[in-house]
């Protein structure tokens, strides 16, 4: 996993670390970018014997509903 040379670790948790860095935008302004570093993971997409995919519609407090393969 690569990060810009000027990225700084701003948080170290049990599962992941958070890095931030300033990034110049096309219009010349500067925004803070952020990236997580975490161990490799896997996603399982469950299927039925008929070949249908199982998905879940999730609802989180601070975002609109979304479809997910994670249960």
* pLDDT for residue 1 is more than 60: no
In whole angstroms, what is the distance from residue 44 CA to residue 49 CA? 16
What's residue 60's pLDDT? 75
Q: What is the pLDDT of residues 2-27, one digit of tens each?
A: 788 999 999 999 999 999 999 999 99
Q: What is the pLDDT of residues 17-66, one digit of tens each?
A: 999 999 999 999 999 999 999 988 887 888 899 999 888 898 876 679 99
List the chain domain ranges.
8-68
What's residue 71's pLDDT? 53
Coil, strand, or helix at residue 29? coil
What's residue 45's pLDDT? 84
């Amino acid at each position: 996993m690569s990060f810009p040379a000027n990225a700084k670790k701003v948080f170290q948790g049990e599962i992941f670390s958070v890095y931030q860095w300033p990034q110049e935008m096309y219009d010349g302004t500067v925004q803070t970018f952020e990236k997580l570093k975490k161990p490799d993971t896997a996603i399982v997409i469950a299927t039925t014997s008929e070949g249908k995919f199982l998905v879940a519609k999730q609802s989180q407090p601070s975002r609109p509903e979304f479809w997910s393969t994670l249960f």
